[in-house]
Amino acid sequence: MSHEPIKTGRVEEMRRVQAEEARVLPVAATDPKSVKVEKTTGKGMDIEWKDSHKSHYSFSWLRDACPCATCNEEREGSGRKIGEPPKAKPGALPMYKEPARPLEIAPVGKYAINFHWNDGHSSGIYSWEFLRRECPCAECKG
Q: What pLDDT digit, counting tens, does each position of 1-17 carry?
A: 445 555 555 666 666 66
128 is a domain residue: yes
- Using CA atoms, how far apart are residues 58 and 46, in angstroms rounded to an integer? 9
State the amino acid at position 73 in one-letter form: E
91 is a domain residue: no
Q: Quick one: average pLDDT of 24-53? A: 92
32 is a domain residue: yes
47 is a domain residue: yes
- Burial 74-107, CB ≥16 within 10 A → b, else e: ebeeeeeebbeeeeeeeeeeeeeeeebbbeeeee
Confidence of residue 28 (pLDDT cuts 50, 70, 90): confident
23 is a domain residue: no
Task: Please state whether beta strands 112-117 and 102-108 pair in parallel, antiparallel, or not at all (unpaired).
Answer: antiparallel
Confidence of residue 96 (pLDDT cuts 50, 70, 90): confident
Instruction: Assess whether pLDDT exceeds 80 at residue 103.
Output: yes
Instruction: Assess whether pLDDT exceeds 90 at residue 125.
Output: yes
State what percent of residues in the chain have pLDDT above 90: 68
CATH of the domain at 105: 3.30.2020.30
Instruction: Assess whether pLDDT exceeds 60 at residue 50.
Output: yes
What is residue 32's predicted lDDT score, i.e. its pLDDT? 96
35 is a domain residue: yes
4 is a domain residue: no
**133 or 27: which carries more pLDDT confidence?**
133
Confidence of residue 82 (pLDDT cuts 50, 70, 90): very high
What is residue 27's predicted lDDT score, i.e. its pLDDT? 79
For residues 95 and 80, the answer to whether their CB atoms sit within 8 Å is: no
State what percent of residues in the chain have pLDDT above 70: 84
In which domain, by residue range, is 128 found? 11-18+28-86+100-141
- Domain count along the chain: 1
Whole-prediction pTM value?
0.80
68 is a domain residue: yes
